[in-house]
Structure 1
């Protein structure tokens, strides 16, 4: 799954004529030693993609990992060293850093929420709000940051949202039709906005309920109403500042879309080292 993503990114960057700059300036037989360094503190993710970027340009490039995916790194800390043909290293540099910085940013953002709710049972999960084509690796980065994954796609489970309910004519027909159309191993989750909707949904025994944009006090009440009859998931504009209060309500899951669609990159650089 990884190689086509990296290969496509390299092709996008190389275009029709390749790396004009490196090919013109760097002798073909020149070797170099470089270091991938964290320019800020964070959590690492995406080293396999970075390595692929270098190796797809030239298999003689070697990468020695100092801090594995999921590791916490300090500002200025070395993540990995990259050695081999200098042209190949320079040509693949931006593609490698794009993947590594992006995924490390997601892992770092996830870790910030995980740390904020430490001591509570709630798990941090991502959503399907991902960059088209990059879902698998973005969800991997969430796991590297200590989080868990929600659905990977529409075929994983049934999630009945407000528009489904509106078009189906209500919560009851939506759940009944869903249950009659899928096998016994497929989970059914229902999104509810109010306590009244929650009571209605629970009457039809969904596997999970998504408690959308509820204030903390209402969320706590909702968890008490569910009383273990379904998995409870809190969602809606959750940040590291608001997550601790939400976790105290006893919800099982806290889902956050911005982890994958808006997390800032972790600033990582590639630095040349004189031999």
Structure 2
């Protein structure tokens, strides 16, 4: 599923406006207007690529006359030293778009690469690796696309997409003196049949009331490995089982081995390291024509 063009252009336009609100002063002061360049997006480390649409939009919106040819497709692995894309056009336009393009593509490729590492750790199990809403404000659509490029899956996109009752929601229910199973069932009965209903629990004794309340997915939050296995056994196929909390690259394999259906990890997006990519420019300046 490619990114919607409107999402890409909204983000890139805002980023360019932030980076050059009144134009690129340095390029206009130093670079001849007629200068043309060919630039190569080069990998300084290995990873998974994400950013074809971003590159095209960043240089196109930075100025007219630029063209981008991606040599690696979104979701493909690349090695250190590889050339990922070729950019050509007016030097001023390429220089203006350079930082915005790199910032976004480096981050998205970092997310795709990190996701692929998590997915590899869960290989051979039933568990899907999913993201969370712990995304950069304004970049959610792009970062979630990067998760898909890395082989992961997306959780609910926003608060409007599904019911997900978490610990604070359940605390309000308990404070009101309501029975948990009854409160959940009443809530589900008011929803359209198409709405997914997920409930978070932090102890094994909450699972049965949550199932009685009609949960489609039971989220086991910060459970030990042993309790994750017990939780999967208690649910016994009556709902999907999701694990979250303390999900790291060194713990995800053991979590996946418990038999859970989904593992959601904020680490895919909230603290990922951008990949080291560079744009190497070769410039040419046409000779002045004789008068």
TM-score range for the pair, normalised by the shorter chain length: over 0.9
Work out the CA distance in 2 between the residues paired with 1:77 and 1:273. Answer: 17
The yes-or-no answer on 1:45 pairing with 2:50 is yes
- Partner residue of 2:253? 244
Give unmatched runs, 5+ long, in structure 2.
1-6, 285-291
The yes-or-no answer on 1:69 pairing with 2:69 is no
The yes-or-no answer on 1:152 pairing with 2:157 is yes
Q: Counterparts in 2 of 1:73-152, with a 5 A limit?
A: 73-152=78-157
Shift of 1:46: 1.7
Larger displacement relative to structure 2 (66-75 or 176-185)? 176-185
TM-score by length of structure 2 reads 0.91
Q: Is contact 2:183-2:213 (8 Å) kept?
A: no
Q: Deviations over 1:17-46 (max 9, x none)?
A: x11111111111111111001111111112
Q: Is contact 1:216-1:245 (8 Å) kept?
A: yes
Q: Is contact 1:236-1:256 (8 Å) kept?
A: yes
Give unmatched runs, 5+ long, in structure 1.
none
Q: Counterparts in 2 of 1:204-223, with a 5 A limit?
A: 204-223=213-232
The yes-or-no answer on 1:255 pairing with 2:260 is no
Q: Is contact 1:107-1:142 (8 Å) kept?
A: yes
Q: Deviations over 1:178-231 (max 9, x none)?
A: 213210110100100111011221222310000000011110111111111101
- Partner residue of 1:20? 25
Structure 1 consecutive aligned stretches of length 4 or more whose deviation exceeds 6 Å: none
Q: Is contact 1:106-1:138 (8 Å) kept?
A: yes
Work out the CA distance in 1 between the residues paired with 2:233 and 2:77. Answer: 36
Work out the CA distance in 2 between the residues paired with 1:38 and 1:174. Answer: 53
Q: Is contact 1:44-1:67 (8 Å) kept?
A: yes
Q: Is contact 1:160-1:174 (8 Å) kept?
A: no
Choose the corresponding residue for 1:6, options 12, 22, 32: 12
Q: Deviations over 1:74-101 (max 9, x none)?
A: 1111110101111110110000001100
Work out the CA distance in 2 between the residues paired with 1:178 and 1:77. Answer: 53
Work out the CA distance in 2 between the residues paired with 1:24 and 1:177. Answer: 67
Q: Whose radius of gyration is greater, 1 or 2?
A: 2
Work out the CA distance in 2 between the residues paired with 1:236 and 1:66. Answer: 38
Let me know the Cα RMSD of the aligned residues.
1.2
- SS for the counterpart of 2:145 is helix
Work out the CA distance in 2 between the residues paired with 1:75 and 1:224. Answer: 44
Q: Is contact 1:165-1:174 (8 Å) kept?
A: no
Work out the CA distance in 2 between the residues paired with 1:199 and 1:121. Answer: 23
- Partner residue of 2:287? none
Q: Is contact 1:158-1:178 (8 Å) kept?
A: no
- SS for the counterpart of 1:147 is coil
